[in-house]
Amino acid sequence: MMAQRVLELALCTVRDKKAALVARGRAMQAVSRYPGFVSWRAVTACEMTDLLADLVEWETLDAAEAAGQRVLNDPEFTPYMAAITRVRLMQHFVTEQQI
């Protein structure tokens, strides 16, 4: 039986949205090369101009957690972290139902 994939949801406030979006693009490219990476859906809030969300899919929770440690020292990810003023939510989820 295959392990269930994990969805990582990060909801963040940024100070400079334009700079954050550029930095996020670089971060996405870096993370796409990490072991266990499946996909990254980057979205922005319609009602709050300073709110971004990232939904990253990983093969396993271990891969997601390892990536969480790796980004702390990845120079391609540093500008995105610097653009974030507040992490409102950072959690890992598994899919229970889908239609």
Domains and CATH numbers, the chain: 6-92 (3.30.70.100)
Alpha helices per DSSP H over 3-54: 17-31
**What local confidence, expressed as pLDDT, does residue 3 receive?**
72
**What local confidence, expressed as pLDDT, does residue 8 receive?**
99
d(CA 15, CA 92): 25
**What local confidence, expressed as pLDDT, does residue 29 receive?**
98
- Hey, how many other C-beta atoms are within 10 angstroms of the C-beta on 83? 22
pTM here? 0.93
**What local confidence, expressed as pLDDT, does residue 1 receive?**
53
**Which regions in the chain score pLDDT beneath 50?**
none
